[in-house]
C-alpha cells in the first residue's frame, strides 16, 4: 500500500468511526488498519506488556505517517480535541499505560488524544470522556506455570491464583484482595448478583494453550456477597 492509498484508508476509517461513536482515537485507527488486534489491545490494557508500539504490526515509518494523516484530518474536520488517560488498576495502585518505548510526552499525548464531534452537548462530551477514561479493573490469573511471589517469595503452584503488577507476580495474600472468595463461571444470574452485592470483585482468567488466549473462569467476590446469592438461590429453589 503506497502513501496515497494509506492516507485514503485512514480517512475512511476515521469518518466511519466518528459516525458510529461520535468520537475517534488513534486506537480506532490502529484497529481499523489491522496494525493492532483486539486481543493485543486487551493484553496491553491489562498491563501484560510494557508499551503498545512493541506489539503493533507496522514499521515506525508507516505508523508515523498513518498517525500524521489522522491528526491532520481531525484538525481539518473541526473536531474537538480531548486528551484522555489510559490507566490500569494494578494490585495496589493505578498505572498509566505507555504507548511508546521512550514514553516521550509529545508522542504519548498524540496517542492519547481523542477527537469528539462538536455536535455533542457539553454534558454528553463529559459522559463520553468518563466512559473512555474508565480504568481497566485488575485481573486474577489461574497459574498454568509454577511461579513465585515477588513479595513474600512463596512458591505458587499450578492452579493457584496470582496477580500481576508490571510483569511481577504476587500471591493473593500479598494483595489487598486476599479475603475474596472464588465463584466459578457457569451461572450468569448468580454471577451478576454476586458482583452487585460485592463491594469489590475481580475477574479470574486462565490462559488456554489450545485457543492461545485468556478465558474467563469466574469471579472473586466477598464472602458476604457469595453467602447472599447462595441464600437467595436456596429460597428460590424452595419456592
Which of 58, 78, 81 has the alpha carbon at shortest distance from 9? 58
**Where does the pLDDT of residue 92 fall: very low under 50, low under 70, confident under 90, or very high at 90 and above?**
low
pLDDT at 26: 96
- How many Å apart are CA 133 and CA 23, to the nearest integer? 13
Q: Could you give the CA distance from residue 218 to residue 205 in angstroms, rounded to a whole number? A: 7
Residues 6+ apart with CB under 8 A from 185: 191, 216, 217, 218, 219
Query: What is the bridge-based pairing of β-strands 213-221 and 147-148?
Result: unpaired
pLDDT at 174: 92
**Residue range 103-128: mean pLDDT, rounded:** 92
What mean pLDDT is reported for the chain? 89
Instruction: Please give the pLDDT value at position 236.
Output: 55
Say which residue the cell 454534558 belongs to.
Answer: 123
Contacts of 231 (CB under 8 A, 6+ apart): none
For the stretch 190-225, pLDDT in tens is 888 888 898 888 999 998 888 878 889 999 999 998
Domain locations in the chain as residue ranges: 3-132, 139-238
Which of 10-14, 47-51, 175-179 bottoms out in mean pLDDT, i.e. has the lowest? 47-51
Decide if 132 contacts 119 (C-beta within 8 A): no
Q: Is the pTM of this model over 0.85?
A: no
Amino acid at each position: 500500500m503506497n502513501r496515497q492509498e494509506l492516507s485514503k484508508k485512514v480517512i475512511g476509517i476515521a469518518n466511519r468511526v466518528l459516525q458510529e461513536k461520535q468520537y475517534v482515537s488513534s486506537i480506532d485507527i490502529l484497529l481499523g488498519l489491522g496494525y493492532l488486534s483486539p486481543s493485543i489491545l486487551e493484553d496491553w490494557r491489562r498491563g501484560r506488556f510494557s508499551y503498545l508500539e512493541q506489539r503493533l504490526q507496522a514499521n515506525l515509518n508507516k505508523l508515523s505517517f498513518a498517525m500524521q494523516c489522522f491528526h491532520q484530518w481531525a484538525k481539518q474536520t473541526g473536531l474537538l480535541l480531548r486528551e484522555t488517560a489510559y490507566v490500569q488498576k494494578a494490585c495496589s495502585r493505578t498505572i498509566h499505560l505507555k504507548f511508546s518505548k521512550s514514553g516521550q510526552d509529545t508522542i504519548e499525548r498524540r496517542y492519547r488524544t481523542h477527537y469528539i464531534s462538536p455536535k455533542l452537548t457539553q454534558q454528553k462530551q463529559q459522559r463520553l470522556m468518563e466512559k473512555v477514561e474508565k480504568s481497566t479493573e485488575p485481573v486474577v490469573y489461574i497459574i498454568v506455570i509454577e511461579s513465585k511471589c515477588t513479595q513474600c517469595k512463596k512458591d505458587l503452584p499450578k492452579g493457584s491464583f496470582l496477580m500481576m503488577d508490571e510483569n511481577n507476580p504476587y500471591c493473593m495474600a500479598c494483595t489487598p484482595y486476599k479475603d475474596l472468595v472464588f465463584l466459578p463461571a457457569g451461572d450468569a444470574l448468580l454471577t451478576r448478583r454476586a458482583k452487585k452485592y460485592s463491594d469489590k470483585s475481580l475477574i479470574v482468567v486462565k490462559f488456554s494453550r489450545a485457543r492461545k488466549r485468556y478465558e474467563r473462569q469466574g469471579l472473586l467476590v466477598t464472602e458476604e456477597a457469595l453467602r447472599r446469592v447462595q441464600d437467595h438461590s436456596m429460597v428460590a429453589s424452595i419456592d
